Amino acid sequence: MTRLLILLTFLLTAMGAAQANPPTRPNVLFIVCDDLNDYVETLGGHPQTRTPHIARLIESGVSFTQAHCNIPICNPSRASFLTGIYPHTSQVFGFERWNVNPVLKNSRSLMKHFSKNGYHSLGTGKIFHNHGLQEWDEFGNPSDYGPFPHDGKMNVAHPDVPAPFCDDFGAVDGSFGPLKSLEGSDYQWMSGNWKKRAKLHYTSDDDRGLTADEKNARWAVEKLKAFAGASEGKPFFMGVGFIRPHTPLIVPQKYFDRFPLESIQLPAIKRGDAEDTFKHTVISQNDDRSGDRGTKMYRSLIASYGGDRELALKKFIQAYLASVASVDDLVGEILEVIDGSPLKDNTIILLTSDHGWGNGEKDYLYKNSLWQESTRVPLIIRAPGMAQAGGTSDLPVSLVDLYPTLLDLCGLPADTVINDPGCALEGHSLKPLLSDPAGVWDGPEAALTAMYKWANYYDPAKQNYSLRSKDWRYIRYENGKEELYNCAKDPDEWTNLALDADYADRLETFRKQLLARIPKSKPAPKLTNEQWKQQYFEKHPEADANKDGTLSWPELQAHKNQFAGKPKPTPGSTPLPPPCVSPTSCLRDLPAKSTFLAGLKQSEGFTSVALHGALNLSQRISRIS
């Protein structure tokens, strides 16, 4: 009896201790690079890429070699994978604010959901494209696309970049080259965004200020050291957003030195490869980012080097490889802290990119295409005790699967809907493929990717889409034109089989699969007068002249007609216009040069100097004026 009482006492004590100290949930480190394609060791994107630290992460986790984004441009891609909702469901296909979208604002973001379920969420750098700081418990540094050369008035392209490329695409997309001394020139280095800018000190690589990516890595390192030294506390969900290799491709000289120009190899490019493709048929006249911008960049770059295609592409690819290498070193600094501390055994690490980037294939130099270069992204998951070290999966998966995967790995509930019309997670957990990369999972057979084209309203049935299965890629553009590639035999997607009658049956099969996955047409709703007024108020809160929180019709009309019938204002002669909601709204709505500049500078949509290089100020201002 005594032994029985002792045993019962022991069991009750153990049960009480287990309840008081439940099993510790794993920490999560979520690393997002910007515009990083398959130029990563082991993915085969470029033979000269040097990413030893990412390769080390791959060796300790599972690499998904056919991971694809759900839309290959920054804002909608991040809005999608950070909410777990496809663009065709939310109808966020462009640069509109994701956090006022009815579906997404009523669906809990990834970091917010972790915070709600007992995690301390903290982030730094570019995670959401914009308007995401409120999603975190703690945030470090906002997005900063610098460093930029500054001519005393505005940010400009790197002084080593020749015209017309530097003029055509400006301080962001038209800029690449090493961080170097500008002493004695008309320029100085600047960092920051429209809200906060500062000079970046640079004398030499040994005497300079930190770049934005370096600041974010240092912030993460210090936070991780603190977590490693803490004896108790909440598990953490940390996001680190690196800008590179997003343009401008400006990093320290030492990274360019790793890739001597004369040694640069060009990617496999078939001359005339674009002749059987149809992306150029869906050009938007309102926003050249969504049209044939990649073709324009390609042609402008070559023209800038006197028509020498090989030299032009070598120059740009050198800068891209250097930028990738710079990020790899920063990933290495973060891994060193984790692997050298107790965090190693209880921290899930996920590294990916929001989309890829084309470096001349199909005569295209940009993202936002439905070809492999734009849609394919690196995806590596290291989950101690749950992922096969060094495993590789070649099944097609996509970024919408990240959210449910992390919830599954951490044992968190999947109830992410806040209110109607919020949407449940649409991806599928990759956890089964972590323990058995060659196994099966319950996700779809093909990764679905949409493509942005500027519009006032996005009907999901009338967009451009791609399906990437294990062996095939099918593309259907909004105008009904199609492309079909046998990727098993044609990994570079050189031959469009949609033009071959022998593949009519396979084409029809893919066509039916795609149409089964996207919604039927959702025509733009007809708004009542009050709904229209409220929508206008949300877009232009400053129209509420008496600041009573309600927009009257006279206030709306006065705001709308602010410059109606008046001559173009001169600098200082008119009040500032309302902040731009997007680059295109500035270009579309504002009538004059000074008005455009003033609206741009206070725009909430611009978290850096001209997102994605969409605005070459001098060109665009002259067009407006």
- Measured CA distances, 458 to 267, 293, 328, 550 (Å): 35, 20, 37, 28
Q: Residues 202, 181: contact at Cβ < 8 Å?
A: yes
Identify any residues that bridge with 197 across adjacent strands, giving them in sequence order: 192
Of 144, 115, 145, residue with least CA distance to 237: 115
Instruction: List strand residue ranges (DSSP E) for 195-331, in order.
Output: 197-199, 202-204, 207-208, 236-241, 249-252
Radius of gyration over alpha carbons of the chain, in Å? 25
Q: What does 324-340 look like in DSSP terms, one character per residue?
A: HHHHHHHHHHHHHHHHT
C-alpha–C-alpha distance, residues 604 and 587, integer Å: 15
Count of CB atoms situated within 10 Å of the CB of 72: 31
**Crossing angle for the helix pair 553-560 and 529-539, to the nearest 10 degrees:** 50
The Cα 26–Cα 226 span in angstroms is 16
Contact 441, 429 (CB under 8 A): yes
Assigned token pair, 46: 């470029």
Bridge partners (DSSP) of residue 468 are 447, 473
Mapped onto helix, strand or coil, the DSSP state of residue 211 is: coil
Q: How far apart are CA 409 and CA 415, in angstroms?
A: 15
Nearest alpha carbon to residue 33 among 102, 125, 150, 106: 125
At position 130, the amino acid (one-letter code) is N
For 299-336, give one letter per residue: b (16+ CB within 10 A) or e: bbbbbbbeeebebbbbbbbbbbbbbbbbbbbbbbebbe
Contact between 358 and 366 (Cβ < 8 Å): yes
- Mean pLDDT by runs of 10 across the 625 residues of the chain is 50 43 81 98 95 98 98 98 98 95 98 98 97 96 96 96 97 97 95 87 95 98 97 94 98 98 96 96 74 92 98 98 98 98 98 98 97 98 97 98 98 98 98 97 98 93 98 98 98 98 98 97 86 83 90 90 56 38 36 37 35 36 31
| Gap between the Cα atoms of 371 and 357, Å rounded | 10
Quote the strand ranges of 65-196, DSSP E.
67-68, 120-125, 138-139, 148-150, 176-179, 188-192
Phi, psi of 617 (to 5 degrees): -55, -45
Please tell me the predicted confidence (pLDDT) of residue 185.
94
Please give the pLDDT value at position 291. Answer: 67
Sheet holding 376-377, edge to edge: 376-377, 67-68, 397-398
- Give all domains of the chain, ordered by start, each with its CATH number: 27-440 (3.40.720.10), 529-624 (no CATH)
- Long-range contacts formed by 93-96: CB under 8 A, 24+ apart: 93/450, 93/452, 93/453, 93/455, 93/458, 93/463, 94/287, 94/290, 94/452, 94/454, 94/455, 94/458, 94/582, 95/129, 95/582, 95/583, 95/584, 95/605, 95/611, 96/581, 96/582
8 A C-beta contact, residue 467 and residue 473: yes
Q: What are phi and psi of 403, to 5 degrees?
A: -60, -55
What is the distance between the alpha carbons of residues 383 and 346, in angstroms, rounded to a whole number?
8
Q: What is the dihedral of CA 495, 480, 90, 469, to 10 degrees?
A: -30
What is the side-by-side order of every strand in the sheet holding 148-150?
148-150, 188-192, 197-199
Helix (H) or strand (E) holding 223, with range, is: helix 212-229
Q: What is the C-alpha to C-alpha distance for residues 291 and 465, in angstroms, rounded to an integer?
A: 15
Q: Which two tokens stand for residue 286?
A: 């309102």
- CA distance linking residue 29 with residue 59, whole number of Å: 17
Q: 584: closest CA among 237, 250, 96, 49? A: 96
Side-chain half-sphere exposure of 590, counting CA atoms within 13 A = 29
Put the strands of the sheet holding 447-451 in their side by side order. 447-451, 464-468, 472-476, 482-486
Q: Rounded distance, CA 622 to CA 189, Å?
A: 26
